[in-house]
Amino acid sequence: AEDPRAPRFTVAQYQQIKKEGVAMGEFFEQQMAQLRAWRADVVDSGLALDMLYLHTTSMGTAGARSLEELRA
């Protein structure tokens, strides 16, 4: 079951959205709107984009960070 306090983006969700014809840019905007509805301060402060950037490699792919790196 999904935990609304810790939302996740899964491959299955992406594939469903892609099948429905929603482009990645549209998906990003939808997710940011949902995040803003949940915690506007996270979006408005730039924290959401900072976290996204932190979890993206220089090649534009998903990256992983340790808890220690996130706390730094």
- What whole-number distance in Å separates Cα of residue 32 and Cα of residue 38? 10
Q: What is the mean pLDDT of the chain?
A: 87
Mean predicted confidence (pLDDT) in 43-54: 95
Classify burial at 70, counting beta carbons within 10 Å of its beta carbon; exposed 0-12, middle 13-18, buried 19 or more: exposed
Amino acid at site 72: A
Domain range list for the chain:
11-71
Check residues 8 and 36 and name the one with the higher pLDDT: 36
Task: Report which of 48, 55, 60, 59 is spatially closest to residue 70, judged by C-alpha positions.
Answer: 55
17: confidence class by pLDDT, cuts 50, 70, 90: confident
43: confidence class by pLDDT, cuts 50, 70, 90: very high
At residue 7, the pLDDT reads 74
At residue 47, the pLDDT reads 96
